[in-house]
Amino acid sequence: MRNLFKTGILLFLFIVNIIDAAAQPAIKITLLGTGAPVPSIERFGPAILVEAGGQKLLFDCGRGASQRLWQLKIPLGTIDALFLTHLHSDHVVGIPDLWLTGWIPAVYGRRSHPLETFGPAGTQNMMENLVKAYSWDITTRSKERNKADSGALVIATDIEEKFVWEKNGVKVTPFTVRHAEFIDSALGYRIDYAGHSVILSGDTRYSENLIRYAKGVDVVVHEVAAANESSMQKSPLINQILGFHISPEEAGKVFSQTNPKLAVYSHIVLLTADPSLPPPTVNDLISRTKKTYNGPLEVGEDLLSIEIGDQVKVTRFTADQRKPGEVIK
Ligand SMILES: [Zn+2]
């Protein structure tokens, strides 16, 4: 009788586990920062967290990536690897914060292993120079730390198309995109896990290569830029910026050709040359995209998450989840 009871309990736990596993998304994406260089409080710099196969992977580390991670109560030290799309400052200025605040042994940090970083040509050089720039902090804090602690180290690797990163069944594939004529190293990324996948565009204009890599993906996360008509007529700077990015109509073409279950905008560049004239709105982005694409579309906002499993589920971060009064141990 006792054995029968025990078997019953084990069977129950087994079923609960199966249900639990089925409910778990294969890939969870969180848009930590959906902005651009604009020092906005609403949209922090570009950074996207991808969780899959027990890995926490960060793609770009713009302004405020660390704050957004900690809003989710994710200790900075738990990021397993950082991948960079390119080295424009809005994509990398958050690295020293993630790296060195992540090394502090408090509940929000706790990294005691090196920060592994992958990115296009120049990444290794940039990371080596960051180590030099912050040598005072590293030297003084090292005196407080145990000798085996390697949390201040960085391991940086320059990568390009054809490189593949794999761990626990998670596959990260970089591919070349078209940011500007004089930039030939900018990357997008495809992440695959358990039969599901997502494309992160990085900064790019319309890219045939991205469309090739996006075959069969569940979700496409793409950058976008738009300005109002009068700014485009008036401002050479705005025209130059628009020339480095994709318009909503062209992004719509990418979505139509890749046909994902969900298209998402992140790295949203909305411009105006005239302070009295508002920049395009989220609704403008949607209506302009609809000219060339009629599938599901979300305009990203900071901390919006997308869970990819049998279905694709979008959750917006609500204000009541922002809890003040941190306990720092
Ligand atoms: Zn850029």
Tokens of 6: 């025990």
pLDDT on residue 168: 96
**83 alpha carbon – ligand 1 mean position (Å):** 15
Largest CA distance in the chain: 84
User: Which structure tokens are listed for 226?
Assistant: 């738009």
| Å from CA of 88 to ligand 1 middle | 5
CA of 323 to the centre of ligand 1 (A): 32
pLDDT for 326 equals 44
Residue 203 Cα to ligand 1 middle (Å)? 5
Q: DSSP 3-state assignment of 57? A: strand
Q: Which residues pair with 269 in a beta bridge?
A: 225
Q: What residues contact 44, with CB distance under 8 A and at least 6 apart?
A: 32, 33, 34, 35, 62, 63, 64, 65, 67, 68, 302
Is the sign of the CA dihedral 172, 177, 180, 181 positive or negative?
positive
Q: Per-domain residue ranges for the chain?
A: 24-317
Q: Find out if CATH 3.60.15.10 is the number for domain 24-317.
A: yes
Mean pLDDT within 56-74:
97
- Ion ligand 1 nearby residues (CB, 5 A): 88, 203
Q: Which residue has the higher pLDDT, 248 or 229?
A: 248
From the CA of 16, how far away is ligand 1's center (Å)?
46
Strand positions, DSSP E, 84-151: 115-119
325, pLDDT greater than 70: no
pTM, full prediction: 0.90
Under a CB-based contact definition with an 8 Å cutoff, are residues 202 and 137 in contact? Answer: no
Distance 188 CA to ligand 1 centre (A): 12
- Would you say residue 19 has pLDDT above 50? no
- DSSP sequence for 255-312: HHHH--SEEEEEEEEEE-S-TTSPPP-HHHHHHHHTTT--S-EEE--TT-EEEESSSE
Q: What is the pLDDT of residues 125-150, one digit of tens each?
A: 999 999 999 999 999 999 888 777 89
Three-state DSSP class for residue 142: helix
Kindly give the distance from the C-alpha atom of residue 200 to the centroid of ligand 1, in angstroms, as a whole number. 14
CA 64 / ligand 1 centre spacing (Å)? 17
Q: Average of pLDDT values for 4-15?
A: 54
* Ligand 1 centre distance from Cα of residue 290 (Å): 25
CA atoms within 13 A on the CB side of 50: 27
Q: How far is the CA of 36 from the centre of ligand 1 (A)?
A: 8
How many A from CA of 212 to the centre of ligand 1?
Answer: 21
